[in-house]
Amino acid sequence: MTGPNELGDFLRVRRASLQPADVGLQEYGIRRVPGLRREELAMLAGVSSTYYSRLEQGLSANASEAVIASIARALNLTRDERAHLFNLAKPGVSPKRRTPTKPDHARPGTLRLINSMSGTPAVIIGRRSEVLGWNELGHRLIAGHVDFDSPNRIPDRPNLTRMLFLDEHTKELYSRWQEEAVRAVSSLRVLGGKSPEDPELTALVGELTVKSLDFARLWAKHPVENCVSGVKYMQHPELGSIEIGFEVLTPPDDSGHRILMYTPEPASPAEAALELLRRRDDRMIAMNDRPSFR
């Protein structure tokens, strides 16, 4: 998913976001470009200006962990950004022969788990933000306009990031769409740093960059954050305006799957709205199961 010099791009963007005063330096003269100069960042990191320049230009591989840690400190990176920098700085190991990527599927036990939570909207997400499964309430909350069984069909499997930028129904769902978009791109950057050789992730980023100017603009800013909890602000077509918390759980295996659960505050309007949605689902299921007499 990463470009030919993703590490250098990330370093340049973060360096440009810092001013001398942010790191205790005195500013002299007029700067032709925003942010710290390369030699200033190199001085703060305790490395030579030449070495740091080669690192940004993609001409120096296998930087030591101590050097990367020093650069992370000099750039005032957050914990997630620091982890992302270390992922990007790892030397790439390209296999001589790339095996085809097998279609991913949710584990049966994980599907049983989310289906047992009838009062909690839940979605199983794959490595590339694709939907591997959802329970009835999760489906109705975030994608009622999409066929419930679509996660089981690889060609038209929903992808939460693609839907957020390219699907008008999903865009209208989030009253704070810009906030949601930054969150999605930040999470995708984290995934990309962990799986730089993933062809499907590369294809997804390429598609969204071409089809969405909003995505391309945000992607170029290199936001990085592992978003595992927070609040989503929705304008739901059935429930109206709601604010609902979310939590992301990661199973202790190497599948890369995540479980996104929506967790309203007790006795809140969001909890009442979800109960209303659940009752509607129960009525629809009962009607579909009712025998037909002709």
pLDDT band (50, 70, 90) for residue 101 = low
Q: Could you tell me which of 74, 65, 55, 62 has the C-alpha nearest to residue 15?
A: 74
Q: How long, in residues, is the chain?
A: 294
The DSSP code sequence of 233-277 is: EEEETTTEEEEEEEEEE--SSSS--EEEEEEPPTTSHHHHHHHHH
pLDDT band (50, 70, 90) for residue 95 = very low
Q: Poorest-confidence range of 56-60, 265-269, 279-283? A: 279-283
Residue 292's pLDDT is what?
A: 43
> Which fold does the domain 6-89 belong to in CATH?
434 Repressor (Amino-terminal Domain) (1.10.260)
Q: What is the pLDDT of residues 117-171, one digit of tens each?
A: 988 999 999 989 999 999 999 999 999 999 999 999 998 899 999 999 999 999 9
Highest mean pLDDT among 195-204, 256-265, 273-282, 285-294: 256-265
Is the confidence at residue 261, as pLDDT, over 50?
yes
pLDDT band (50, 70, 90) for residue 255 = confident
Domain locations along the chain? 6-89, 108-289
Average pLDDT of the chain, as a whole number? 86
In whole angstroms, give the CA distance from residue 18 to residue 2.
24
Is the confidence at residue 98, as pLDDT, over 60?
no
Percent of the chain predicted with pLDDT > 90:
49
Q: Which residue has the tokens 């036990």?
A: 109
In this prediction the pTM is 0.81
Is the confidence at residue 33, as pLDDT, over 80?
no
Give, rounded to a whole angstrom, the gap between the first and last alpha carbons of the chain: 56
Q: Is CATH 3.30.450.180 correct for 108-289?
A: yes
Is the confidence at residue 55, as pLDDT, over 60?
yes
Q: Could you tell me which of 74, 6, 65, 68 has the C-alpha nearest to residue 37?
A: 74
Residue 293's pLDDT is what?
A: 37
